[in-house]
Chain A
């Protein structure tokens, strides 16, 4: 099998040691600085687990209760720490259970390496027990994948896997390893990879493009910034903040970019997209220069492309060349790493304040406050709202928690109302919309940032998709705080049924179990809130707990999330009710 040509800068060859493939895999992980992995054993990966047993003082393995949980935990870990998350599984069903997590990591650009066992080389293609073509299956949802059939391939392929997962626009890599390659011996020496000849991780910044961008920005009367996760992945938070402050340009975020600039920053005008803020959506169609940084114009952000920012000159700062002109035609494309390109842009930018233009965002916020926010955060009706729960979490955690969300109404409400004071704090399944993401991702987030408060906010639907991971929280006493916003519905689908399918609630009503008892069954402290009067004390009790804590809040059953851009409508047509 041909392998990639790898660039080797460090020509000093380390002294090789004779070890098995399985042991070599552990050494590769240690060489890459990995000290924590998530996974689930099985026949075809047992030699590696046997080595994990021997190396348990150096490399911790967390047994999730389902392989999907392992991938989301690895994602949560990667997203808070900026490091590569690692998940491991056996062949066949173990491998196929990784697919959702791979797809999620691919669309949300999360660096992750997944390792799967495979049947021995001589049985490949024989439909052996637990054989599945995971390389074929995972191809469309991985940045790169590879099947190792010889022990001698292990060090080079692992080095490439970590390099590819982390560099450029990050993404998931899958390495499938036949069992014979785990048993066989090799002369092991590890060299980190710092380049692959057929892969340009990041383009060199084009100074002319940056110059053109600066000219457009300096001459703009109504410039507007939308930033995405590229800021967080590129660790360009400071550069963005300086750019925004110097130029006085109002800046909004996609949900993947949330928390890169603190929520209370005066130039942070809020969230774009289907359930984003009113001003940031409507004014997209009133700006004269739109500066998109590290975002990809997802359809949930743009609504109808035919009516999206047509009046504006568009500048796109982007690391992935394939994203340029993919959805929105741009006037200036600045390829490269946001940290580097923004750094080069900064000295070319004139100081400005754009007071009048900024006041339009304030006016729109006031409209949204009257129509939506007040009802969500200061409700006068008896039923609890999701918004007031988020507000209590903000208060109790001093706006400094990592908020991990699942998918649906609670996710949109959390993204809208959670307040953040530092980056890498909003962990959610953005592009794929994976229900069941939050609970395992919160485990990974807590282990990736143990010093931080991690609160998983989950709907009653998604919670039951990966509820078994409570076992991990219990077994390892991982002090994650879990809030289930229980409305006894698949709320977002129910909302669409109400608005677009004449309230025909097909399969969206749920009779739920006693969530408190389930948590208690795992020996996790648990409490249920049904009245507003108990909410604040319950949230404070949860946040101040040193141990894992489960809080169920019974919220209004048929609340809707507004504002809303109906699917396929223009950002200008966002509805406040």
Chain B
């Protein structure tokens, strides 16, 4: 079976140790987590994990089954890239003098649609939000001039189809 990018979305209680429990499921199967983001979700007091893996659908389905089995997990889903709208964010710290010495830098900023977050005497910071390859392209363009620091966030995703968590919780409440 062919390996692909899959985004796993996990709705859960906000409890200490759950991250360890979820990451252990990947560890046990020797599957690497390519990207991980934990945040609040659209539902009050419900957390959302967004996990990106590069593996087969069969493995992804089994992993989602194991994740859902965890007591504090309300529901987990997996989607392909086509089924989601997803973004990543990156920050680039660059020496300020380059803005004046290297004219090309200004073009890169304009063409990449990135924002200048801050400028100081020594450095300035660019923020870029987009697909992984767009961030990679910007990184490649800036690299020859010297990047003082670079960081990229985990993927964040919303799905085209609905993820009916509210209904699941309501059903429980009415039992």
Contacts and interface: CB of A to CB of B under 8 A. Distances in A.
Does B associate with A? yes
A198 interface: yes
Given A196-B71, A326-B65, A3 B21 contact: no
Nearest to B12: A198
Interface string B1-33: 000000000001111110011001000100000
Given A2-B16, A3-B15, A198 B72 contact: yes
A136 B23 CA distance: 12
Contacts of B71: 4, 143-144, 164, 196, 198-199
Nearest to A164: B71
Interface centre among A144, A146, A196, A198 (most CB of B within 10 A): A198
Interface in A299-326: 320-322, 324-326
B14 A2 contact: yes
Given A139-B17, A140-B24, A198-B12, A321 B172 contact: no
A1 B16 CA distance: 7
Contacts of A140: 21, 24, 28
Interface centre among B17, B61, B62 (most CB of A within 10 A): B17
B69 interface: yes
**Category for how many chain A residues contact B:** 20 to 34
A139 B20 contact: yes
Interface string A1-37: 1111101000000000000000000000000000000
Nearest to B17: A135
Contacts of A136: 17, 20
B169 interface: yes
B68 A7 contact: no
Given A140-B28, A197-B74, A2 B68 contact: no
A322 B74 contact: no
Contacts of A3: 15
A164 B72 CA distance: 11
B77 to A, nearest CB: 14
Contacts of B172: 7, 195, 197
A196 B69 CA distance: 13
Nearest to A196: B71
A148 to B, nearest CB: 12
B66 interface: yes
Nearest to A321: B65
A124 to B, nearest CB: 12
A145 B24 CA distance: 14
Nearest to B46: A198
B14 A197 contact: no
Nearest to A327: B62
Interface string A170-202: 000000000000000000000000011111000
24 contacts: A2-B14, A2-B16, A3-B15, A7-B172, A136-B20, A139-B17, A139-B20, A140-B21, A140-B24, A146-B17, A164-B71, A197-B74, A197-B173, A198-B13, A198-B72, A198-B74, A199-B71, A320-B69, A322-B62, A322-B65, A322-B66, A322-B68, A322-B69, A324-B65
Interface of B: 12-17, 20-21, 24, 28, 45, 61-62, 65-66, 68-69, 71-74, 169, 172-173, 175
